[in-house]
Amino acid sequence: GAAAMATVPEVDIDADGTFKYILVRLQRPGGEERRDIVRGTKAAEFHNHIFEKVNPEMEKLGFECKCLGGGKIEHNSKDKKIRVFGLSTGYGKADHSVTVELLKKVYTDYEITWSDDKK
């Protein structure tokens, strides 16, 4: 897979609502290049459902995936606010501050916050 890592969107989350998310690190096998991506959707009942969808997509492109943890995202598109919180039972808590930095690159005019609150 000669796909450039830069072509993989850093953020892919639902346009609205509260849902689970994971932080995933992409790496080229044996390579130094890496990219952290955020994936979240209401369609996922559990955090591993998101990973099970992302992993094969990225493997096809020639990248190894590692889940760095998870949490929840509350996306209020009307008020342009995103809140990152909670954790994943299976993967542990993602570094929400990293997630917020990635979200800010995409949602540039949003107010984006994070906390370790469970809800």
pLDDT digits (tens, 9 = 90+) for 19-76: 999 999 999 988 888 999 999 999 999 999 999 999 999 999 999 999 999 999 999 9
| pLDDT tens column, 62-119 | 999 999 999 999 999 999 999 999 999 999 999 999 999 999 999 999 999 999 998 8
Which residue in the list 47, 49, 75, 96 is annotated as catalytic?
47
Binding positions for substrate: 20
- Domain containing 101 — which CATH number? 3.50.20.20
CA angle 92, 94, 95 (to 5 degrees): 135
- Domains in the chain, number: 1
Rounded-to-integer distance, Cα 6 and Cα 34, Å: 10
What's the order of all strands across the beta sheet hosting 111-114? 11-13, 34-41, 17-27, 64-76, 81-85, 111-114
Query: Can you give the residue range of the structural domain that contains 93?
Result: 2-115
- Model-level pTM? 0.95
CB 9 within 8 A of CB 35: no
3-state class of 66 per DSSP? strand
- Whether 47 is a known active-site residue: answer yes
DSSP bridge partners of 69: 23
